[in-house]
Structure 1
Amino acid sequence: MADQPEEVRRLLEAIDALAAIEDDATCASAVTALLNDWPTHHARLREIRQERVLALRDSGRTWKEIGDLLGGVHASRAQQIAKGLRGTKRPVKGADE
Structure 2
Amino acid sequence: MAETPEEVKRLLEAIEAFEAIEDPAERTSRVSEALRAWPGYHARLRSIREKSVQALREEQKRTWPEIANIIGEVTPERAQQISKGLSGAQRKKNKAEAEKAKPTE
Fold equivalence (TM over 0.5) = yes
Runs of 4+ in 1 over 3 A off after TM superposition: none
CA RMSD for the aligned pairs? 1.6
The TM-score normalised by the length of structure 2 is: 0.80
Q: Deviations over 1:1-54 (max 9, x none)?
A: x71210110001110110111000000000000000000000000000000000
Q: State the identity as a percent.
A: 55
User: Which one has a larger percent helix, Structure 1 or Structure 2?
Assistant: 2
Question: Whole-Å Cα distance in 1 between the matches of residues 3 and 81 of structure 2?
Answer: 26
Flag structure 1 segments of 5+ consecutive residues without an equivalent. Answer: 91-97
Counterpart residue identity of residue 14, structure 2 = A
1:72, CA displacement in angstroms? 2.8
Question: Whole-Å Cα distance in 1 between the matches of residues 66 and 33 of structure 2?
Answer: 38
Number of residue pairs matched by the alignment: 89
1:57, CA displacement in angstroms? 0.4
* Rg larger for: 2
In the TM superposition, 1:1-97 aligns within 5 A as: 3-58=3-58, 59-88=60-89
The TM-score normalised by the length of structure 1 is: 0.86
Flag structure 2 segments of 5+ consecutive residues without an equivalent. Answer: 93-105
